[in-house]
Amino acid sequence: MHSFKIHSPVDEISTPLLSEKKIRLFLKRDDMIHPFISGNKWRKLKFNLIKAEQEEKTNLVTFGGAWSNHLLATACAAASYGFKSTAFVRGEDVNNEVLFLCRMFGMELRFCDRESYRDKRRLFEGHFANDLQAFFIDEGGAGAEAAKGCAELIEELDRPFDHLFCAAGTGTTAAGIINGAALGQAEAEVHVVPVLKGAGFLRDEIDKLLLKEQDYHPEYHLHLDYHFGGYAKTTPGLLDFIRGFSASTGILLDPVYTGKMMYAVFDLIEKDRFPSGTSVLAVHTGGLFGLLGMKEKFKLA
């Protein structure tokens, strides 16, 4: 597979609250890795692409909703590295900006009802059981290969941090970061902000992907109170925060993942969760095309 240049700087954020609390907040800008294969999407796809190439597969088959950044990243990555791509899209046949771009990158879209979509392995086998060229990539790229790619983020840091935050949907990115911190002997406490309601189950999902080394029992924090109603749900308060953050920093956040994570970071800082002098790193996992699906909710003048 051809090399892929990573450009993911670390920017420091300055706000009156941070100055008042004497907290240094940094943002790992994975949203700048690539216009379409951005954020954790590249990290989660990298070792899937390597495995597909090693197994001489030619068609990447994956899953997602109509506004899925993962589908767009997979479509672009497939076109970039000489694969075909197919996506099972949850729900009715629609067209939007994200699916338009997926098609532009040559992705074949197959819409399916929500009941069929629940069992993705069965859906894959039903369509590709006899296709030796098809390579299964789970929704969002979740899995061991994805966690391995996300672990590499820690190697790119050139300074220590006291706390490290990331958003979580499947928990794969979080598991990779926890593993990377352990392998790199980073001292940072890892904080995971699930974007789903009732996401206590994510601890089990994360633990499944942690390294199975002797005496390896990493601790991490799950912050379960920042889901704002559930996956892809929002509130006026969350949207106001995102709009204010973007207007004051020049950095866009999405309402599904990074907006909720950054809200949690600022809320915990405001509640004095961290002592003065603390350094915090938050991971911007990209996903900014999700903004397009919610643009009407912002009610911008």
Place of tokens 């996401």: 199
Contact 164, 223 (CB under 8 A): no
Secondary structure of 263-276 in HEC code, one letter for each residue: HHHHHHHHCCCCCC
Of all residues in the chain, the percent with pLDDT exceeding 90 is 87
Residue 211 is predicted with a pLDDT of 85
pLDDT, mean of residues 21-38: 96
249-266 pLDDT tens trace:
999 999 999 999 999 999
Strands (E), 119-196: 134-136, 163-168, 189-194
Q: Mind listing the pLDDT tens digit for each residue in 184-216?
A: 777 899 999 999 999 999 999 999 999 887 566
What is the average pLDDT value for the chain, to the nearest integer? 94
Cβ(62)–Cβ(84) below 8 Å: no
**Tokens found for residue 266:** 């600022």
The structure's pTM equals: 0.93
Which band of pLDDT confidence, cut at 50, 70 and 90, is reported for residue 124? very high
Question: CA triplet 44, 45, 48: central angle to 5 degrees?
Answer: 110
Tokens of 139: 């929704």
Q: In 10 A of CB 294, how many CB atoms?
A: 17
